[in-house]
Structure formats: structure tokens, C-alpha cells
Structure 1
Amino acid sequence: MIEILTPDELDRARATGALVGDILHALKARASVGTNLLDIDRWAKQMIEDAGAESCYVDYAPSFGDGPFGHYICTAVNDAVLHGMPHDYTLADGDLLTLDLAVSLRGIAADAAISFIVGETRDPEDERLIETTERALAAGIAAARPGARIGDISRAIGTVLKAEGYPINMEFGGHGIGSTMHQDPHVANNGRPGRGYVLRPGLLLALEPWIMADTDELVTDADGWTLRSATGARTAHTEHTVAITETGAEILTLPTR
């Protein structure tokens, strides 16, 4: 299903996106050495409920997951990159943490992810991973304009990732979003320009470049959800929900403060 939002629905999407951005911003500020991933999940739950919103994850049970996810945020550490299930783990200095959050407010969902380093220790390669995904996301957003095609976005993202020498996994990527979290069209993190669905004003897309330092192969944890690099290499993941407008792409998931 591909949804084209009405002006009223787009206004609601802006409110949802701002909530997602603000929650991620607040959680990043609170995540420090000694923080437990289950505390992050608890804080996310409280902020979602305080806003009168709903988690898109708690009852989420797609074919690639092992039953309902059961948590309010994805927390992926170091070699974990996608669908990281919160568990009893205490963050250490130098950990590379990804927070991925999807929320629905007044019937419209928004989805975003950030990767950052916890504590004072900074590995230059970790910083390069994160910065590369951020630049790739910016390139994808710049390519998202009415009349362009999904392949144009994929090519823009992939060009940045490949230029830095990172392998690209094509199993998981960006997606349409609206009244539900995951919709068509799929937005791969590499592709051919001029191919795929033509972008129209009112379309919402969640664009999400993610990479692993030295592999494109994933393995799944025993929890049935958490995806890690097959080699144990570090990973990074950056995501925004954007709305296609008459003039380009509007980022909806930026924090308001």
C-alpha cells in the first residue's frame, strides 16, 4: 500500500515527527556510561504515553521477527545494527549505540534513528561510520523531490556509502510510512536512477542508510530480532521521516529543542 497524505494528515505527520525527534534527542542526552538498555526502553515508554501517542513496536510481529517485539524502542549496540531488542545490558565507555524509534500519534506514524558514541572514548572509525550514514541520508533527502523516482534516492544514498568503501546490504532499507509504520515503496540503500515509483507531494518516506564496517551479511540473535554484522564489525544507522512537498523533501523528525 502506498498512501498519499492530505494536508490535514500531513499536519498530523509533522506533530508525530516532532515527537519522535524530541524523544530521541532526550534519550540521547540521558544515555551515558552506566545506563541500562532497559532503562532507555522504560524512558521511551513513559514519554510516548505522556504524549498520548502509541508505540509502533510493542505489538509489531512481521514475518522476519520472532513474535511481537514487546518493547518501545530499538537499542542496537556496537555490532548490532537493526531491530535491537532492549535487554539487560549496561552501556560502557566507547559503545556505539543506535536508537530507532517509531511512534503513531493521531493516526499517523513517524520513524527515525540516530547512532552515537557513549562516553568519552572516540574511535575514529566509529565516527566515520556514523558520519557516512548521516551524509548518505542528506544525499537521499536532497534527491527526494516531486517527479523524481525511488531509484534516484537509492542511487544518491548508495553513492555516498560506496565512496567510503562500505558494503551495502540490500535486505533492509527505507520505506513508505503513513497510517502504518511500514508501507510501500521500499527504498533500497543502493539502486539505479530513473527507476521505481514516481514521488508525489503528500508521500511520506522513512529513509535509513545503515552500514557495517566490513561486511554486508547479517546474523540474527537468539532473541529472534536483533540483527548484527556477521563479522562482529561495528555498525551505524541514521534515519529520518520526510514528506514530499511541491518543492522537495521536508524533514519531519528533527527535534524541536
Structure 2
Amino acid sequence: MKNKKNIFYKLYREFRQSGFSGILYKISEYEYFPVWLFHFSRSNIYIYEGAGVYKYNYRDKQDKYEFNLATKVDIPKILKLMGIENKAGSAPADRLNQFFDNENCFYVIKIDGEIIAYLMLYKGEYKLTRDDYKSINLNISLDNNVMFFGYGFIEPKYRMRGLFPYMMNYAMSHNDGAIFVTDIADLNKHSHKSHIKLGFRTIYSLVAARFFSKKLIFWKLYGERSISLANEAEVFMSKEPSGDAVFIKKLPDLSIYPSRKSLNYR
């Protein structure tokens, strides 16, 4: 009975703070129902609109940081930093191999040859996932001049030294002329503030939802107003790189046009 009271209290508190959507977030986060039956998550899509590349120097001058573009040779060290055992044929190792095969950019910071931070930058295609690539995925197809910032990580003991903006600066300065976009979970307020400071702007929110159904729905929100709904969401369940995708283009006004086969961002 006590556990039930705690659950209801948490949901009530979330309702007071974030409204009905907050309750849906918590139900999904705590997995009160299996993810294949119920899911609700929201992230924000950002675009870089800074006046040129952000000029920033890391504060810690004592350590000898080495900035590099990683290759397949670095995969074992990358997996070590991720806390994942390096096994041939494992899903994380396969995804990294595919990442490099697709000629994406994997930036790393090294100290004495050891990787202490990384930042992934995609071109051509990006797979947005809400459950570690299991079933809640959305393929995003990018124009030739668009690059998508994916996962980034800094070893805990090297955080709060200004490395994140410096690493972003390093990546953007080595891809001059590109349009940079990224996706950040709605609850990650710290990352939101960091990207705003860098010169990124929120252009819309993307919600993924499954309400006691096998069908997964993605839809776009601008502010609190729903622009449109993709009700053919099983299209986005494709795990093939050639599957239907979302197309992001840089135009003055971004809007969404759902169709049977794809969502087009213009």
C-alpha cells in the first residue's frame, strides 16, 4: 500500500509541476507498463544559428588535451569509455563500425593516448532512438549540407572544465559551411542551456508515443501547439538505412508535412 501511495504522490507532484504531459513522462520513465505497450517521451530539435563558430577556450590549461578525428582503430578505446565490453559482433561494436563505414565524424579528446571524451557528428542519415535502438526509432535523412550532432560524453573527472563547448567548436570549425542540428531530451535542462549559450535555437519538439497499442506515433509540437500528426507511425519502425525518413532542410520557416511514406521538414 505504501508503494502505491508513493506512486500516486509522484504522479500528483508531476501533474502540479508539468501538467498531464508530465504524468505521461513519469509513467513511461518508471516503466509502470512495458515499453512495447506504453511509451511517452519528448525531445527538442535545435539548429545552430550562432554568428560564426563559437570562440571558446577550455579553462584547464594544465592537462595536455589532444583533439582528434577517431578511426576504426579507436573502437576498443571508445567502447572502454562507454563501459561496454569489446566483443566482435556485439550491437554497440557493429553500430560503431557502421558509423565509420558511413564516413561520419567521431571527434575525441585524448590524454596520454587514452580517450576521455567523444562527440559524434552524422551526415547523410541519423537514427533518433528513444530506447537504445530497440524499437522506438526514427530515421532522419539529411541534406548534403546538414550535419546532426549525436551522442557526446566526457569522463566525469574531466567535466566542468569547459571541454564541451571547446569540443563543439572544434567539430564545427572542421566542417565549415555546414548546417548543424541536434536533438536533446526535454528533461535535460543542463544540455539545453549549454546549447543555447553556444548559439543553438529550439525549432520544435518531437514527441514519441505509444498508448496501449503496437503502433508508435511521432508528432511535432511547436510551443504547445500540435502542428501535425503522423498516424502512419509504423513506417518509422524501419531498421534499414534505406527505410522511410524525415528530411530536414534549412528554409526560413520550418513546418511538417505528413504523408503515408514520410515526414518532410521544410
TM-score normalized by the length of structure 2: 0.26
Instruction: Tell which has more relative contact order, 1 or 2 (C-alpha 8 A, sep 6+).
Output: 1
Higher strand residue share? 2
